[in-house]
Every structure is written in structure tokens, then in C-alpha cells.
Structure 1
């Protein structure tokens, strides 16, 4: 989770800062190659929402900076209903960015159902005016299915190797990294 405008307030600039960061993050992920999974690309789902929230440090032994409030819940729901390699944005953020004339470019996604909110209008953030940006294409349904199939094949391969030892090794290219998979996790 990322937040802008806390602990020092920055007016409406938080929306621009987070939108710009989301675009840069998605651009960077598009060129990232997963070393131990050749042929598979990293996809992230990004959700952006703007609104009031409370923040503070909680804990004595392991203090953590935490965010609270309805805005945090809404941001989480916007992110979880996003799609791979997409930036899902709430209407409140779009309104702020348009009011600031930030130059961000949106496509209407349409209304989606959010738990506790009902039907909510949302948008995709797809770029910024006058900024050359090469964002990754969202994967097609077939690609998502192929990725799932690849992982299922890896798991089946591990199960088939079954020996009586307490640990089973992953396929060679993963085992070389020192990864192991306890047999109890596979049964």
C-alpha cells in the first residue's frame, strides 16, 4: 500500500503523485523478467482511491505506520477488483485529477459491484498527455489460463517425484535457487 499526503499534507497533489507512481510502476513491471520462471511475465493489479483517512504508529516492540478508515477499505476493494497490468481508479480520484488538469488519461470501465458500496463507477488509468509511456498490454484470458496451467503442471511434477524423504525438490530451475517444498504442503 502506498499513501501520499501523510504525515505532511500536500493538498490535492497526492492524487497526481500516486497516479504518476502507478504509471511508472506498471511501466517498470512490463519490462521485468522473472528469472526462475522464464516465459512468464510479472503482472500487478493497481487500485487508486482518494479520500480522508487516519494514520499513526502502532506497537511498541515492532512499531508500524498504519492507515485506517473507509478510504483505506475502498482503496483495497478498488485494487482487488482491478485486472492484471491495469490501474483501476475510483471516481473520486478521477475528479481530483481532472480538477487539477493533471493530464492523466482515463478510459471508463463502467460500474462495478463493491462489497458494502453497491454499484460504483470506476475507470482505467491508461496514460498521461504529452508523456511517452510504454505500458504492458493486459494479458488475454488465454494467457491467464496458460499461467494457471503452468503452475498446475509444476505442482503435479513435484507430486509425481514423490519419494519418502521429508522434502521434495522443485523443478530443476527452481531447485537451483535453493527452494524446497515440504511434502506436507503438497498432500
Structure 2
């Protein structure tokens, strides 16, 4: 019964943690003070030590005898203690990065800076405010104790300190602190996993498209009036892949396409996908780019240089065909479990035909792209060629910048 009575006292006091001191004193029932039977019961079990999870405890009391007594009691419970005789000494300990304090026992009445003032500093500090603070005070300091609770103190103990109550308060505060620490770690882990998920999503989708999906859009489909699409194919690579291991195929494609990915960033273009040894990109989607045609052909020229450099370093004879076309496209996200951002329309089909009807180590472009770049680049005009589904078309080989 005494134990239940004590819990009632504690809970009753905690009701007033968010009210003013005047309201606290007006409503607090004096019969909730520990009565004689309760004190006798605690005196009987004073020698019982309950197992408590160990923690780092900071004891702050200007009375050296009280400090030593608390240190002795707490140390018996396998806790590690840190003692401070003043608020300034306590702040030095709290600000030491090598010391991680789990609980603070804070005496209310101290010279220079009292317990309430130190409590306010602790609770205002983002790095310290989560540490549970147990106030130590006399029965005649009830008004100040209530004010401390209103300012963020987690618990209180009246002097003379009962060993059983002290251990119970410490265990309760440690449970809260350890739970809080676990929650913070979980939140940090969730944040890390979220960042990994976001990074993975950005490897699959353009940033603006990924944001729209995260914001709840279920259907993403856009029309772009003007864009430039490029297809590049490693000519003869399929035949080469039949003579080397799968690992070597993947490693070689990865090394080449990774260099192309770097050019994508350089020219602010969008990689759409790779299909086997074919690389597809676009300019002007999903982010409009007025110089989309110019940026795409600059990258195409760099792609030719890249393959030449690879051949020189590896003593290979890789060839690449590049096809480019400009015009309107539709773009959107396909799939629910596995997403892909893709392009559709006649512009895409013609760009693909430019690649397949091109020549090794040349950039084959359509008339629509040529019309946007003819003043800044030199071209070789081709004879009319028959393009399936399109009929005869006038196309060009891009040679170099003027």
C-alpha cells in the first residue's frame, strides 16, 4: 500500500509540470507528503539493492558531504559517477565530448548559479536538453521544486535522500534515457536508409521525376515540344561478347558507359537507358534546355573521342555508331514495382533509325537537327536514304565544330 501511495504522490506532482507555481501551490494536496508508515517501510528495505542498468551519472551539489554520500550510494549500483560542486564545474563536464552523461542529479540550492538557473541552461542547449534531470531539494523548497518541473526537470527527490527512492528514480530515468537514445539511433538509421533509397531512385529516374513520385503523383506523362534524342551503339560488340566471359562483357560495358555518364553530367543531359550495348540519352527532357541540340552533338563528339582513347589504351578496335534527331517527344514513368523513365514518339523512332542507318565512328543526324546546328558545325550531306516507315530522307554526317 505504501508503494502505491508513493506512486500516487509522484504522479500527483507530475500533473503540475506545465502549470504556474501559484496554481501548483493552490491545488497541491498536503496529505500527499510521505506519511510515517511509508517512511518506515522504506527504512526496512533500505538495504535491498535492485539490479539497475549501469549509466553515467553527474551529481551536482555544493555540499561536499552530500556529494560524497550520493557518490557512494550510486557507485554501489555499478553506475559511473561524475561529481561537481558548482554549476560551472558541471557545465565543464557536460561539454566534455569524451563524457556521455545519462542522468543529472542537481541540487536546487547552490551559490553563484542555483539549480534552477543551471537547469534552464541545460534544457536550452540542443546537445544537452534530452538528458534527464532529477532535482534534489528539501521539503521546504516545494515552490522552487514545482518551478523546476515547469522548466523541464524530469523528477525530484526530497532530502534526506532515501537510497531506495534514489535507485528507483535513477532506474526510471535511465529507462527513459536509453529508450530515447534507441529512438534517436532508429531515426538516424531510417534517415540513412531513406538517403540510400533516394539515391537509388535517382539512379533510375531524373531528380524532378523522382520528387513528383515521392509527392504522390501516380501517373507521370509529359509532352515536350522540342528536344534532341541520341542513340549510340557499339558496333560489333555483340560478336565480341560471344568470345569473352560474361564478367568481362559487363566490366567493359560498365567502363565505357560510366565515361558516357560523366559526359551526361558535363552537358546537363538526361540518360534514358541502356539496351545491351546501346546507349540512349536526351536533351531538353525532363528539364527544358534551349541548347539541347548543341549540347547533344557536343557530347556525341566527346563520345567518339572517348572510344578512340579507349582503343589507344587497350589496343582494341571498338567502333561506335551515333544517331541524332530533334523534335517533340512524350515522356513518362512506366511500371509500379520497377520504374523506368522513357520517351516515345516519331522523334525517338527517327533517332533510332539515324543510328542503325549510320556508319561506324560517325554522327548521323536528321534534317531537323541539322537545321538547328548548320551555322555552327560542318556537315557532309548524304544522298537520300530509304528509312523504313518514313520513306526517303535527307540526312547528314556531322564532322566538327566550325
Normalising by structure 2, we get a TM-score of 0.30
Give the corresponding residue for 1:45.
321
Deviates more, 1:25-34 or 1:13-22: 25-34
Moved over 4 A (4+): none
Give the corresponding residue for 1:127.
400
Give the drift of 1:34.
Answer: 8.7
**Deviation by residue 1:82-112 (Cα, 9 ceiling, x = unmatched):** 11111101010000113xx4x2111112211
Give the corresponding residue for 2:286.
7
Matches within 5 A, 1:32-181: 32-33=310-311, 39-98=315-374, 101=375, 103-129=376-402
Give the drift of 1:33.
Answer: 2.7
Q: Which has the higher contact order (CA 8 A, sep 6+)?
A: 1
- The answer to whether the Cα contact below 8 Å between 1:34 and 1:42 also exists between their aligned partners in 2 is no
- The answer to whether the Cα contact below 8 Å between 1:54 and 1:67 also exists between their aligned partners in 2 is yes
Of 308, 328, 337, which residue of structure 2 is paired with 1:30? 308
Give the corresponding residue for 1:146.
none
Decide which structure has the larger Cα Rg and report it: 2
Of 8, 16, 32, which residue of structure 1 is paired with 2:294? 16
Structure 2: segments with no counterpart, 5+ residues: 1-279
Structure 1: segments with no counterpart, 5+ residues: 130-187
Give the drift of 1:39.
Answer: 5.0
**Deviation by residue 1:139-169 (Cα, 9 ceiling, x = unmatched):** xxxxxxxxxxxxxxxxxxxxxxxxxxxxxxx
Give the drift of 1:40.
Answer: 3.5
